[in-house]
Structure 1
Amino acid sequence: NDLSTIDKTFGFDTAIAEAASVIECAHVEAKGAPNGVGLVKIMGRTSGHIAVSAALANNDVNFVLIPESPFDLHGEKGFLAVLERRLKASNHAVIITAEGAGQEHRPSDDAAGTDPSGNVRLFDIGVFLKEEIERYFKEKNMELNLKYIDPSYIIRSVPANAGDSIYCMLLGQYAVHAAMAGRTAMVVGLYGGDYVHLPLSAVTSRKKVDINGTLWRATLAATGQPAVMRNES
Structure 2
Amino acid sequence: MIRAIPSIASDNVYCTLLAHAAVHGAMAGYTGFTVGSVNGIHAYIPFNRIIEKRNKVVITDRMWARLVSSTNQPSILNPIDIAEANKEKHPAVNGLLNG
When the two structures are superposed, what TM-score results if normalisation uses the length of structure 1? 0.26
Separation (CA, whole Å) in 1 of partners of 2:40 and 2:47:
19
Residues 157-207 of structure 1: CA deviation (Å, up to 9, x unaligned)? x55332221111101111122223322111112234332111123335765
4+ residue stretches of structure 1 with deviation over 4 A?
A: 204-208, 219-223
Residue number among 12, 19, 23 corresponding to 1:172 in the alignment? 19
> Could you tell me which of 52, 71, 79 is aligned with 1:230?
79
Give the structure 2 partner of residue 190 of structure 1.
37
User: Residue 218 in 1 paired to residue 66 in 2?
Assistant: yes
The CA distance in 2 between the partners of 1:171 and 1:165, in whole Å, is 10
CA distance in structure 2 between the partners assigned to 1:221 and 1:160 by the alignment: 21
Q: CA deviation at 1:216?
A: 1.3
**Offset of 1:211 from its aligned partner?**
2.4
- How many residues end up aligned between the 2 structures? 78
Residues 162, 192 of structure 1: alpha-carbon distance in 2 compared, 3 angstrom cutoff: same
Please say which of residues 194-203 and 212-221 is displaced more in the overlay.
Answer: 212-221
Residue type at the aligned position of 1:229: N
Distance 1:185 1:159 in 2: 30
- Matched to 1:186, the amino acid is F
Distance 1:213 1:159, change over 3 A: same
SS in 2 for 1:170: helix
Q: Secondary structure at the match of 2:37?
A: strand
Structure 2: gaps (5+ residues):
84-99
Letter in 2 for 1:201: N
- For CA contacts below 8 A with separation 6 or more, give which structure has more relative contact order: 1
Of 150, 157, 160, 2:7 maps to 160
Q: Percent identity?
A: 31
